[in-house]
Structure 1
Amino acid sequence: MHTGVRMTGVTDVTGVTGVTFEELDAVRWELLEPATEFHPPGETKRALRRLVRRGDAATEEDCHPLFECFGLGRGRVPSVATAALPFVVRLALARHPDRGARAALVELLAGAQKEAAGADPALVDAGWHAAWRLQRPRFPALLADPAPEVRREALALAEDADALLERWRAETDPTVRLPLLLALGGAAAASGEAGAVDRVRETVTGVLRTGDPVMRVAAVYAWAAFDPDAPVREQDLLVDVLSDPAVRPRFETVWYLPAVEDAFGRESVVSWAVSLLGHAPETALSFCVRLIGAAREHGDPLLCRTALDEAWRLLVVRPSVAAALLPLAGALLADPDDGVRYRAAHLLAVLGPEAAPYADGLAALLDDPGEEEYLEGTVGDHARWALNRIGDPRGLPDLVERLYAPYRDRYSRAYVLGDPRLPEIEEVLIPLREHAQTLLPAVRELLRDPGADGPLTRCFLEVLQAWGPAAAPALPEVVPLLEDSCLSLSAIDALVAMGPAAAPAAPAVRGAVVLDHPANHLKVAWALWRLGGDHGEALRLVGEAVPRVDGPGYGPVHLLGTFGPAAAPYADGVRHVMEHGGPWLRPRAAVALWRITGDPEPSASVLEADLFPVAEGGDSYGPFLDALHALADIGTLSPAARAALHAVRESDRRLAGYRDHRAFLQDERIRSAIDAVLARSEGPRDASRTVR
């Protein structure tokens, strides 16, 4: 690409050369390629001219337009960046009183080179690498700049590990030495030269033996970059330093990183330490448990919260972690810190029945108003859910109202996926079907509330559907919802699930207001049959819709299976869907075909095909669970599928695609379904008939 500027050799490396308007005007900016259409090349020229015009008064904010013009983070380096490069370097070397301005410019240089190194070569301007090489002689001056902020940002500009080692021998400022030590580890990891790695290792181990506590922790981090087992070997050191209350303030004075304005606190360093142990999960768990113990001993709630957060992240992916955390969480229910009690109650809640030994401690917290900033709910809310999960009736009083409270007078919630938060209404209530008689009055009252929010009404309808006949007393509240096109289909599902008690609602179902889609009208016809209506008419309508290739997914094939053997005239159409439908349709058609014919094959083989991807480490948990439910009904299983399910059940991984409380709920459902399939399958089938 044409850069619009002629490159010249660099002779002045003192950093005192200024940039003139004439030099900027000499570049034909209009010929250059911009980073984005929103920042044409002329914007880059204006941003540079502003910095020149501001001179000694330039600030970090004056540099921000240049970042936008370079377009970092888009995976490309345009020619406008190549043209601007020498000007940015010279401005960074100028001795502006505002250190932030020069540090920002060096940060921009480092970011641009990182972008060039990681981008598709075809997306990097052809002149960039040559332009960068021409500027390299200037970079040592930035590494030796009087301002520590500039020196920190310049670490990324060092040519190799030896250049960083040279700087290490001269650097005395601890706010630069620490990130310099980390940069040495990264350079050693990137180097293919054994001698350079050995020289860095000697430096790192020297700090590990003689440095101050925070620098010793940094040395472990640096070492881990090229020796992942270093943190495993140095776990004792990490625990001792990170749990020492006297050392904690020191982190906030020296743990600086390039491109970040403020220093990091000890809690951030703890989290990074756990990530360094990711390849050694047992050590990571031991590390968290030891930190929790030390935090309790020293009365250090910040450390305890952080260690609990990291332990939670381990628990959410590995069920075996529960054994170590369960007694700790139980003991922490009595901790004086709100944030610690909050995390302990939530952890016990997700573990469900395993937390039963701590039910009394949870019950004592039902009215605990303690909260944790940025996390949802109170200690009492999570204690109540824990009791619900355990099956303790002490969690039932006022449950529905407390679940609804976060939505009252508002239409949304705010939370971070992966962090502890309140469960959804349906997640709490659906498993409590045996307590429906106690909970229904409050649910019915909210369904009658004219201000009830639509999405919440749908949640309550989902609960009523899951409760089935036990929800029949709510019939008067559900029938009016048939007049709402957004809720009518959910209301129909709830009514059908109620069984014969909902038969009086048939006339209202016949007049239900549904969105004008053929499948919706078929759903109404099917529901009328389930509520005691005309079997033959419903079967004809649904059956004739299934083979329609131009219909919505071959029609309602899943509904046709509910007619059982009576749908035999339409079996060929169902078989066609099973053989030619998409991955979502095939298993549903397979279930329908089995319900119609009563023959396990070929339905079971089609369903088993959804088991093997998860057994081989995949995460297609939705189809996996659907297949399990269907195979439990069919009652047969091939030897290959049986072996696959045993392997999945025995694996120490959370069988869920989520990384919050939903991971535990889905994992429980899947493991329960696996047990049901293995228990109900009767004898092996011919494994050769299994579709892979």
Structure 2
Amino acid sequence: MFTGIDEVDWDSLRHAHGSAEDVPGWLRALASADTAERATALDGMYGALHHEGRVYDSTLACVPFLFALAAREEVADRGCIVELLVSIGGGSGEDGQRDRRAWEAVRAGAGVFAALAGDPDPAVRRAAAGALVRFLDDPPRVLELLRRWLPAERDDSVLAALTEALGLFVQRYPAHADGALDLLAEQSAPPYAPGRRLAALGQLALRAPGRLPADLVPAAVRLLHQRSAQRLPAREFSGTDTLVRRIRRLRPSDEQGAALLRTLHGALGDRVDDRIALLVGQLTSPDPVDRCNAVWMSAGLFRGWRGAYDGPVRLLGAQLRTDQDRLRDAAVSVLAELHALARPAADELHALVAARPDLWTHRWERSSPTLGGPLKALARSGDPRAVPPLAQLLAGPAAPAGLGFEVAHLGRAAAALAPALRHRLGRIPLASPGAARLAIPLLTAIRAVGDREAVPELLRLLSDAPDGPGAWEEIVGQVIETLAELGAAAQAAPLLRPLLRTRHAAVAAGTLWSADGDASAVLPVLRGELTRADPGLRRSAARQLGRLGPAARGALPELRRLARSGPARERIPAACALWRITGDPDPVRPLFRAAWTADARTRPAIARCLTAMGPAAAPLRDLITEELTRPRRHTAHEGAFGGHDIPDDEELLRTCREVLAGL
């Protein structure tokens, strides 16, 4: 296995952490009889020789020895070695030339993968199936190997890997695809087992939708239920609740089944109605493991795609009645991310909150309490039945610090909580390093409930603020915005004027103007902020100038410069301000059109501006109409923007409908 290993000048080779002198020890440890030693060596190789997908000269030098290890049956954990070889050969590091050499090095040894088709270790065969297609550069031979391998294989996990390998073959070798597609079509029908048929249907959906049966979704649901009836029951985790146990409990206990359905969902793509029907079939399975897998898959569907989700959400709510913690916790976790879309499950959420006060909060070991998932989901849905339990928590000694963020989703319906919120805000020690963590959620809630009686507390926060940078810097802007929204700008004016010389100048200036309408006092400040190096400060200044309207005409030169150059996220606030100041939509509409297409994150701000434009927005009607027909959420165009991608997209859709109504 290690012939020639000492002839390699490892000291002169490099990996991610420097000299490769430690690599021979790792290679030898991979052949150790000690499990921990093998695992440590494998971790070392991934962390140094293949760090973040990169390859190094030492990585290339390892490839022959890794192949030698993979070929020896007496070596344990060879499946992991084959997976490492596949990763090295297919990596995407920054050095393109070296990556090509790695691919060629693995391809040169790919005959080993063919030999591993008959290996006694299923983990080795499973890893070899895809490796064979990726690196053995002889399509007819590869297809024939797969054709002979399939009827001889008995391990379900290897059969799933072989089916996936056939799909990969179709993708890599279109000229030879017909034979692989015939094999997939054959496996998708009786007499093959339900799991095997599901796997084949998923690959056909990905690679050759024209070969799918007309009743794909009902057929897939039937196969899922049949497969589940044949599966042994999963073991439940019990004992003291720890973070590790909770993570294990939330993970699917049937990873293979989850993978089969994920493939099918992914292949269906923008066929949202079909995916909803498939999800409904999963969520109504008699098997709780199928339903748990479905709950997690629903999260990806909801997050990435728009659709009529009342039915699936009600079925998520039905999972809350289960006595299985794994399934209930999964459903709660997904419902908490849906915000208003969770309303069809509100009755079930309320029933769980009422029956289980112990779930109102959750505390990890040695950590502060957080708001429990059921109550969080109920509050985020906007259901006023969340108010009484939230009131009880606020009255207690250890209310979760972020509770105010969830109260804010209830808006004016949470007005009864205003005194308790105000009281907690007044007790925050301003010099404490944790002041921002405590104050910002409360300020968010006070704005949402519109508590004007909190104005004295807000003024206290401004007047007693510690000097200099620190945690307080995070709070000042929030306090000013809260005062402005509560209509208390005039009362705050003496405290706001000194802030015109700080990083909070823009929001302080806008609030002062709303108090006395004296543009001459704040316009120079806002114009100066437009030239700041910080893009966030420039955007804030542009938004405040838009509030001034025609009184901000003196800032038009700076705003026009900002609207002509820079990233779209800066140009759009400037363009909106230009329209609000001049009332002329012609110069800004082309910018809106270009930014709408180029950067999906600008769409909410543009849509809000178009709503204010009314009939003047008519030339951009096509953008709004097209947005309302798109199945993909705007927050999914560049990946998820954050934890609020669903409510942000739903808000965009509501605003777009308002735009059309105003034309």
Q: Please give the TM-score of this superposition, normalised by the length of structure 1.
A: 0.73
Alignment of 1:428-507 (within 5 A): 428-429=407-408, 432-433=411-412, 435-436=414-415, 438-450=416-428, 453-465=435-447, 470-482=450-462, 483-484=465-466, 485-486=472-473, 487-499=475-487, 501=488, 503-507=490-494
CA drift of 1:210 comes to: 2.3
Alignment of 1:66-105 (within 5 A): 67-68=45-46, 71-72=49-50, 74-96=52-74, 98-100=75-77, 102-105=78-81
Q: Is the 8 A contact 2:568 2:595 kept in 1?
A: no
CA drift of 1:382 comes to: 4.5
Determine whether 1:283 maps to 2:274. yes
Judging changes above 3 Å, is the alpha-carbon distance between structure 1 residues 175 and 326 closer, same or farther for their aligned structure 2 residues?
Answer: closer
Alignment of 1:340-489 (within 5 A): 362-369=349-356, 378=372, 380-382=374-376, 384-385=378-379, 389-390=382-383, 393-399=384-390, 402=393, 408=399, 425-426=404-405, 428-429=407-408, 432-433=411-412, 435-436=414-415, 438-450=416-428, 453-465=435-447, 470-482=450-462, 483-484=465-466, 485-486=472-473, 487-489=475-477
Tell me, in whole angstroms, the C-alpha distance in 2 between the residues paired with 1:341 and 1:137: 48
Alignment of 1:132-531 (within 5 A): 132=106, 135-158=109-132, 159=136, 160-168=142-150, 170-172=152-154, 176-194=158-176, 197-198=178-179, 201-202=182-183, 205=186, 208-224=189-205, 226-228=207-209, 233=214, 234-244=216-226, 245-249=228-232, 264-278=255-269, 280-293=271-284, 295=285, 298=286, 300-329=287-316, 334-335=321-322, 337=324, 362-369=349-356, 378=372, 380-382=374-376, 384-385=378-379, 389-390=382-383, 393-399=384-390, 402=393, 408=399, 425-426=404-405, 428-429=407-408, 432-433=411-412, 435-436=414-415, 438-450=416-428, 453-465=435-447, 470-482=450-462, 483-484=465-466, 485-486=472-473, 487-499=475-487, 501=488, 503-510=490-497, 517=502, 519-521=503-505, 523-524=507-508, 527-531=511-515
CA drift of 1:173 comes to: 5.0
The secondary structure found in structure 2 opposite 1:648 is helix
The secondary structure found in structure 2 opposite 1:210 is coil
Q: Tell me the number of residue pairs that the alignment of Structure 1 and Structure 2 aligns.
A: 612
Larger radius of gyration: 1
Q: Is the 8 A contact 2:270 2:305 kept in 1?
A: no
Judging changes above 3 Å, is the alpha-carbon distance between structure 1 residues 457 and 219 closer, same or farther for their aligned structure 2 residues?
Answer: same
Q: Which amino acid aligns with 1:99?
A: A
Judging changes above 3 Å, is the alpha-carbon distance between structure 1 residues 361 and 152 closer, same or farther for their aligned structure 2 residues?
Answer: closer
Q: Is the 8 A contact 1:315 1:321 kept in 2?
A: no
Q: Provide the residue aligned with 1:630 in structure 2.
A: 609
Q: Is the 8 A contact 1:291 1:307 kept in 2?
A: yes
Task: Report the structure, 1 or 2, having the larger helix content.
Answer: 2
Tell me, in whole angstroms, the C-alpha distance in 2 between the residues paired with 1:427 and 1:632: 28
Q: Which amino acid aligns with 1:288?
A: L
Judging changes above 3 Å, is the alpha-carbon distance between structure 1 residues 189 and 600 closer, same or farther for their aligned structure 2 residues?
Answer: same
Determine whether 1:538 maps to 2:521. yes
Q: Which amino acid aligns with 2:379?
A: W
CA drift of 1:457 comes to: 1.0
Q: Is the 8 A contact 2:338 2:647 kept in 1?
A: no
Tell me, in whole angstroms, the C-alpha distance in 1 between the residues paired with 2:117 and 2:276: 39
Give CA deviations for 1:149-201 in whole Å, capped at 9, x if unaligned: 3333333443322233344455455554443343234234322343x632662
Pairwise CA RMSD of aligned residues? 4.5
Tell me, in whole angstroms, the C-alpha distance in 2 between the residues paired with 1:320 and 1:554: 33
Give CA deviations for 1:257-313 in whole Å, capped at 9, x if unaligned: xxxxx98353444334333333533322211112222x2xx3x33322322332343
Q: Which amino acid aligns with 2:654?
A: S
Tell me, in whole angstroms, the C-alpha distance in 2 between the residues paired with 1:64 and 1:531: 65
CA drift of 1:577 comes to: 4.4
The secondary structure found in structure 2 opposite 1:397 is helix
Q: Is the 8 A contact 2:545 2:552 kept in 1?
A: yes
Tell me, in whole angstroms, the C-alpha distance in 2 between the residues paired with 1:356 and 1:30: 63
Q: Is the 8 A contact 1:539 1:563 kept in 2?
A: no
Give CA deviations for 1:375-404 in whole Å, capped at 9, x if unaligned: 985464056326x625xx433224366589
CA drift of 1:442 comes to: 1.6
Tell me, in whole angstroms, the C-alpha distance in 2 between the residues paired with 1:568 and 1:206: 71
Q: Provide the residue aligned with 1:124 in structure 2.
A: 99
Alignment of 1:590-669 (within 5 A): 590-596=575-581, 599-601=582-584, 603=585, 605-606=587-588, 609-611=591-593, 613-614=595-596, 620-621=600-601, 623-657=602-636, 658=640, 662-669=644-651
Judging changes above 3 Å, is the alpha-carbon distance between structure 1 residues 640 and 239 closer, same or farther for their aligned structure 2 residues?
Answer: same
Judging changes above 3 Å, is the alpha-carbon distance between structure 1 residues 612 and 639 closer, same or farther for their aligned structure 2 residues?
Answer: farther
CA drift of 1:345 comes to: 6.7
Q: Bigger CA drift: 225-234 or 236-245?
A: 225-234
Judging changes above 3 Å, is the alpha-carbon distance between structure 1 residues 324 and 232 closer, same or farther for their aligned structure 2 residues?
Answer: farther
Tell me, in whole angstroms, the C-alpha distance in 2 between the residues paired with 1:50 and 1:271: 36
The one of 32, 35, 41 equivalent to 2:15 is 35
Q: Bigger CA drift: 281-290 or 321-330?
A: 321-330
Q: Is the 8 A contact 2:513 2:548 kept in 1?
A: no
Give CA deviations for 1:507-562 in whole Å, capped at 9, x if unaligned: 344456x8x64x53565455445445x93651464366367588964993443444
Q: Provide the residue aligned with 1:556 in structure 2.
A: 541
The secondary structure found in structure 1 opposite 2:592 is coil
Q: Provide the residue aligned with 1:19 in structure 2.
A: 2
Q: Bigger CA drift: 564-573 or 668-677?
A: 564-573
Q: Which amino acid aligns with 1:322?
A: Y
Unaligned runs of 5+ residues in structure 2 are 137-141, 236-252, 365-369, 467-471
Tell me, in whole angstroms, the C-alpha distance in 2 between the residues paired with 1:459 and 1:264: 38
Tell me, in whole angstroms, the C-alpha distance in 2 between the residues paired with 1:111 and 1:368: 49
Unaligned runs of 5+ residues in structure 1 are 1-17, 253-261, 413-423, 682-692
Q: Is the 8 A contact 1:82 1:127 kept in 2?
A: yes
Tell me, in whole angstroms, the C-alpha distance in 2 between the residues paired with 1:526 and 1:644: 31
CA drift of 1:447 comes to: 0.2
Judging changes above 3 Å, is the alpha-carbon distance between structure 1 residues 19 and 348 closer, same or farther for their aligned structure 2 residues?
Answer: closer
Q: Is the 8 A contact 2:563 2:575 kept in 1?
A: yes
Q: Which amino acid aligns with 1:609?
A: L
Tell me, in whole angstroms, the C-alpha distance in 2 between the residues paired with 1:231 and 1:251: 32
Tell me, in whole angstroms, the C-alpha distance in 1 between the residues paired with 2:522 and 2:438: 33
CA drift of 1:502 comes to: 5.4
Tell me, in whole angstroms, the C-alpha distance in 1 between the residues paired with 2:599 and 2:539: 27
Q: Which amino acid aligns with 2:21?
A: G
Percent of aligned positions that are identical: 24
CA drift of 1:315 comes to: 3.1
Judging changes above 3 Å, is the alpha-carbon distance between structure 1 residues 237 and 45 closer, same or farther for their aligned structure 2 residues?
Answer: same
Q: Is the 8 A contact 1:594 1:600 kept in 2?
A: yes
Q: Is the 8 A contact 2:185 2:211 kept in 1?
A: no
Q: Please give the TM-score of this superposition, normalised by the length of structure 2.
A: 0.76
